[in-house]
Structure formats: C-alpha cells, structure tokens
Structure 1
C-alpha cells in the first residue's frame, strides 16, 4: 500500500469523523474534560496511520476507527478510578464479559452521533465563552481545522488563535459548562454562532488558505452535512438555517469547475456551466424556498439570492447584475463590511459599465492594502481600455497576494493585458 493514499485516507477520515468521535466521547466524559476526548481521537488517528501503512486499508476504515476509539476509551476508563466509580455498576457487570466494550456501542449509533454533535455545537456557543473563542473552538474540535487554518480564516496570527482556544477551554473548566442544549429563545444567539462557524468552514473548503490545494471538497461537504443536521432538528430548523444551506449548495454546485486539469483556478467568467451540478442547484432552491417562511431576512438569505442569480444565468454576460447589485445594497444594510462593499462595487461595474465600477471602488475605505481591490480595479481599467492603469493595478495586486494559485491568476491577467 503506497504511503500517500494512506495519508490521504486518514486525512479524509479526520475531516469527516474526528468531530463525530469527539462529540460522542465528550458526551461521555463531559465538556469540562474535552482534552481527554481529544487525546483519544488523536491517538486513534495516529494508530490508524501506523497500522494501515503496514497492513493496508481495512475494508471499512470508518468502522475500524470507531472500534479503535471505543477500545481506547474502555482502556482509559479502567485506568482512571474517578470514571470507574462513575460507571461502576456497568463496568463491574461487564468486566467478566470478554466483549466488555458492548456497553459503549450505544454511544456510537448514528442517531447518538448526530445528537452528540448537535449538543457539542451548541455547548461550545455558551454565552460565557467569548464569540471569537466559540468560533475557534467549533472550527478546531468539531470541524477538524488546524490552528493555522483557523488563523487564516480570521486573518490573525496563529498564536492569537491558540490563545483563544486556551481561554475557551479554561472558561469551560472554570464555569463547569455542560452539554445541555438551550430551549426556546435561548437558542437563537447560539444558533447564530453555530451557523457562522459552518459558514467559515465552507469558505475554507471553497477557497483554502493553504498553498497545498485551492479547493477542499471534504470541508465543503462537512459544512453542508452539519447544516443539514441543524435543519433536521426542531430547535434549529429555522429560515436562516435553510438560507445558509441554500447558499452552500449553490456554491458547491460549481466546485468541479473551479479548477482546470492542472489544478489552476478557473474564474467564474470562464467556467463550463454545463458541468455545474444541477441536483445541488435544485436542492439549493428547495432550501431557499423553505428559507422564505420567516419574516426576517438574514445575510445568508441575501448571499443565497446572489448565488441563485449566478446559478440561473446562461452565461456570465447574461447574468442579472442589476439584481445582484440590489442584493449587495441590502446586504450592506444587514451586514456591512469592506468585502461586501467591494463586491457591491464589482456588481455595479458589471451592471453600469467599467467607469461606474472604478468610481465605486475608489470610494471604498480600508481595502487599498487588499489584493482583491487592486485586481478588481485592474479588471475595470482593462475593460475601459486603459491598459496602463490596469497593469499598474495588477502589479500592485501581485505584490500583495500570498497564495500561489491566485498569483498565477493575476499573472495571467497581466499577460492578457500586455498582449492586448
């Protein structure tokens, strides 16, 4: 068995199963001792890597992981007197049984896994924990992102995220927070944080902050799975949950066309729309329809609406840019940010012409050090026939971009501009 496929399989399973195992084990040990659960999950994945390199992949790698995690949990419980006392009646009864791990089987049923994950999602969003730490903790524990990946998502140094994670765990211990899911109106502020974490997880998959790969399908799939889990639960089955799911499905439908055969980024304008996943687009519209049942409009509703206009357009040139511009105007009122303002200016440029785009971009504050701003400016200068200013803007963007795949995109724009 080649080492690379084994590494790939273990990484894939880590993304998909580590959060589930962690949720189940945290349900057993308690939220205040989440490090014990994390250690067992980590040891299980290391054991899988070592065993599978020697013996090859098992027929059912997922089942192998769960058996290994269950056995390591039994070993830990037997070593630790405090947990032995906590479940003494069960252990005393089953220690004479050669299949002494059967009592843990119920924890790993699919229904229990979903329940444990849901509890973990909301437990990590306890109001006692600062919002930024809630998001970091969810992305690290339940979503499997590394500290470096989380730092990239927040545009922060890695050590800052490390400190947030440490403070969150200290707060859990000090406050002795539980895994109870709040009810009624108490769920609403926690749900917002959960949805935002899923949104960030998907973003990392859609355009990774790593130079190793541009698109990470497994992260996008995990974000949709977690969103669907929320949509199935009566407490979180709300319009904004379906709006987020609609947004994720619309974007996921385009994933297979975002890269060419060489793994290079293909911009929306040049994607083969015949290859967009129509089943996902149909699913997106179904969730979008369900999201309209409420009386309020969230940022997810507006972003999903924007994505829907792209999904329905026969070509880039036939996109309803006026409608997209209108949605960005509303989004600026609901959730203003320089990135939203940047996208609104780009939509204006396609709706009303490159000069309108240049003017709108020039009015944005706080984006002059961002490569996307200079790239958009270069695009509109180029469309307006001003190749000198277009090249200057692209060169500025080239100095600021950090990912190699995006560097190639801008370099291609420069070459196209120089070649007329």
Structure 2
C-alpha cells in the first residue's frame, strides 16, 4: 500500500508511526474487509471493493497521523468502509432496499467488532459445514471452479492478502502488465458471468480446496522470502498463512491429507526462522545457522501434522516439500543432513509437479552428493531454464558452483548478474560479499 501520495503536514515521527500501523492493518485487515465488502456489494463489484478498502486505509493514515490510532482500529476502519460503501451505493443509484440491507449488515459487523468479537450462538448453526472467518471464506470465494487455477491464486493474493501487482508478478515470474491484464480479465469474467460466490456447503467446498492450498502456499512463500524490500523475512505473512491453514484443517471440507501436509511444511520451515538472519538482519545460509535457535516446539507440531498427512493415500507436492523440510529439521548438524533422501524426495517432486524451480533446488542437492560440476550439468539440462533467467537465485547458485570449481571469472559474472536482479536488502548484501570475494580471487589468480 502506498501512503506517500497524501502525506499530511504533521509530526514526521507520528506520520511514520501511522504509516507503519496502516501498513500493518492493510496486510492483516485486507482479507476480512474485502470478504465483508464482497459479500455485501457483490462479486460484480470487486474493483469497487478494492477502491473502498484502499480509500478507508488512506483515511486511516491521514487521521492517525494527526490524532494517533483509535482504541479499536479494526472497528474504526470497518466504520469508515461502511460509510464509503454507502456513499458509493448511493452514487450508483442502487435500490433502496438493497442499500438498506448492506448498511444494516455493516452496522452489525461494526457492533460485533466493538464488542470484541463476542460470539453469537446462532452463528454456530451448521458450524461443521460453514466457515465463519472472513479471510478463509474469501479464499474459497476466490477459488471458484469457473476461474482458471492461476487466476484464482492471483485474485486471492490481490483481494485477500493485499499484495501489490509487482509482488504477484515476482511470485509468478511474470510481468506487472501481464498480471494486471489477468486481474482485469478475471474481474470482467466474474461480472459478465454473474458468478455466485456464496460459500457452498458440505463436500462441495472440497472442489475448491486445490486453489485454496496453492494460495496459502504462495502467501507463506512471500513471507519466507520477500520479493522486495529491506527485510528478508515477512513473518506476519507466514503467521497469517499458518493461521489460515490451521483454520482450514479444522474444517471438515479442508481436513485433508494435503492440508495437513501443507501445514507441516509451513511449521517445519517457520521453525528455522530465528536462525535465518543474524542480528543485523543479514542472510545466514543453512550451513551457517545456529541450530540451537530453531523453534523445536514448531518442529514437533510440524512432525505431528506430517504424521497426520501420511494417514491418507494421497501423495502431493506438499507431502514431499514437508518431507524435505523434515529432513533438514531432523539433522543435528549440517554435515549430518541426509542429502540422499532429500534428492529422492526432489526426484519424486519433479515427477509429480515438474517446474524449473524444483529442478534448480534439486541441482543444489546434486552438488552436495556429486560435486559442483554435476550440479552445473543438471542446471544446463533443466527444462524451461529460460523462465529463471530473470530470477537472481539461479545466477547466485551458478556463481557459487563456479566458485567451488575455482572458475572465478565465471563466478564473478554470475554473482554480478544475481546482484543486479536481487530485490531484497539482505540478499543484496550477501551477494555483494560473494561478488567481492570472487573478484578478489579472480584478480589474484
């Protein structure tokens, strides 16, 4: 969210605090707010939903910069969104009865928020087949089977997670223009087809589960390795993905082997966060991490989820990724890592979900088992390698492999290209050190 367009002439420190708080709420409140607005304004008004939510956040930024945040920011933003939506409805000359219903529902939502989210016994009717959380409801809404799978994920990231077009483009290795066009087409498709995005009940929910899992995975991945900015980790996104996935596995429609496997992957991966960067926020590679800082309670929870995932007959990509994460977590030292087992898991993953990213990660494992030249050969043979040419990590891996082979000029070239492509501060710092190292060795050699 860009809050720089209308910066008030106030205390700079207060303005910065307000900007940070609004950014925090934009990430955390977007799904709930968009979910409520979509249910009330209709799926044919998705663009209006986004405009109302964005304007509400901008009003919060301006107001909080001067007077500080209110006691209940969530209720405050919801009230503002209610007023904006009411104005928009009147402007569009919608029917009085429909407007009245919408405003009444908004007012009930605000009242519930002001009461601290107190539960209503009537809301628990058919609880086994109804999802009460707006964010999770929105995930299923965006995963309508009439929308193409990739478009489901893009739409959910935009309207649920508050992702910018550029963030989504980097997540998909695409361009901003292509993502913007896809979003526009998807919204037009929804409006023209008048798709009913009312949450279905019972087993019908399971039909949308694949898209929901894919979206949760991408949200977690964006938090695990931010696509831009000064922070490598965006733990709030990871926590939100874990929260939603926990909610999913507790629902009958979402309580599947794949859901448990995805949750296991998230927990096992998040367990290593405390050791992933140093005190300055700089990147620490796996072999440099202090494993005593890992969160062993998360590892235990992840292994429990992995055991539950194994009870089904399905073997999904999430099972295999969770298995890889478990191998890392179970190794007492870096040297004790079972690279042979990890390679087998990557082979299985490449067979059921082939992608250049999987092939690239597999090549790193090949280097541990068979040496850097074998890894370079594997990268050269990768299918669709051209899709990763704009991804810094490919060039960073090639640079490191050439460094290990003593091919320092080639390493310099690869590290320089990786540094040009890197968007995150800690990664840029790490790559600059690797480039400086290789340049020194190249000159001395």
TM score, norm. by length of structure 1: 0.87
Residues 225, 234 of structure 2: 8 Å contact kept: yes
Q: Return the alpha-carbon distance in structure 1 between the equivalents of residues 109 and 95 of structure 2.
A: 14
Residue in structure 2 matched with residue 393 of structure 1 by the alignment: 411
Corresponding residue for 2:359? 341
Root mean square deviation, CA, Å: 2.8
> 1:189-232 CA deviation, whole Å, 9 max, x = no partner?
52212211121122111111214432222221222222222222
In the alignment, does 2:70 pair up with 1:58? yes
> Partners of 2:42 and 2:111 in 1: how far apart?
17
Residue 271 of structure 2 aligns with which residue? 253
2:260 to 242, 249, 257: 242
In structure 1, the gaps of 5 or more residues are: 95-99
Q: How does 1:82-101 map to 2 (within 5 A)?
A: 82-86=94-98, 88=100
Match runs of 1:2-401 below 5 Å: 2-76=14-88, 81-86=93-98, 88=100, 102-105=107-110, 114-182=132-200, 186-367=204-385, 369=389, 371-383=392-404, 386-387=405-406, 389-401=407-419
Find the aligned partners of 2:144 and 2:380 in 1 and give their Cα distance.
Answer: 41
- Displacement of 1:346 in angstroms is 1.4
Q: Is the 8 A contact 1:26 1:33 kept in 2?
A: yes
Q: 1:45 Cα deviation (Å)?
A: 0.7
Note the alpha carbon deviations across 1:134-171, whole angstroms, 9 max, x for none.
22111100111011111111111111111111111111
CA distance 1:372–1:118, shift in 2 (3 Å): closer
- Cα distance in structure 2, aligned partners of 1:354 and 1:194: 38
> For the structure 1 residues 360 and 81, does the alpha-carbon distance in structure 2 shift closer, same or farther, using more than 3 Å as the test?
closer
CA contact (8 A) 2:367 2:374 kept: yes
SS of equivalent to 1:57: coil
| Alignment deviations for residues 7-56 of structure 1 (CA, whole Å, 9 cap, x no partner) | 11110110011111110121112212223322221221111101100001
Query: How big is the shift at 1:127?
Result: 2.8
1:292-347: CA deviations, max 9, x gaps? Answer: 12101100110011011111222211211111111101111111112212222211
**8 Å Cα contact 1:139/1:145 also seen in 2:** yes
Number of equivalent positions: 410
Following the alignment from structure 1 to structure 2, what is the Cα–Cα distance between the partners of residues 281 and 83? 54
Taking the aligned partners of 1:49 and 1:144, their CA distance within structure 2 comes to: 16
